[in-house]
Amino acid sequence: MGLTQEGIHKWLNDTFRDSASPVYLALFTASGEVSAPSYTRLPITFSAPANREITNDAEVKFPIAAEEWGDITGAGIFDSETAGIRLDESTITDARFIRSNDQFYVPPGNMIVRIRNTDLEAKKNAIDLVNASSLPAGDKTAIINKIEAMVV
């Protein structure tokens, strides 16, 4: 069984947007989360879900590094400013080496939390295939109704 798009949107809202406490963005090097005196996780806020995804709705500017942080190769979202549960993680394709006096920032729309639901996608693809077929209209409608009644 899979989640519906509405279920996914509810989960995204409940987890990342409507929770009683904020969520925090963390940065990672190849050896783990950045560990430097001038580094701290920062709160991050997200837009309303659309198409099973959310994006950060404001720029996130980390403090100016007072020392080298290393190559930033990944990011994660946690439910706490320290420790906590990692809710999401991603690889940064263009790693950036942070030196003393550098500042790492994430522009609005660049941190994306996306939930893929292959069952929902398969259902949509099946409907598209039926619509593109040469079946009589009545047969198409009957088949589509059966597909739409399937729980995903």
Q: How far apart are CA 74 and CA 86, in angstroms?
A: 13
1: pLDDT strictly greater than 60: no
Of 24, 58, 50, residue with least CA distance to 39: 24
What pTM value is reported for the model? 0.74
Sign of the alpha-carbon dihedral angle for 78, 47, 45, 71:
positive
- Rounded to the nearest 5 degrees, what angle is found at the Cα of 20, between the Cα atoms of 7 and 109? 65
149: pLDDT strictly greater than 90: no
Residue scoring higher pLDDT (51 or 64): 64
Q: How far apart are CA 11 and CA 115, in angstroms?
A: 10
pLDDT tier for residue 109 given thresholds of 50, 70 and 90: very high
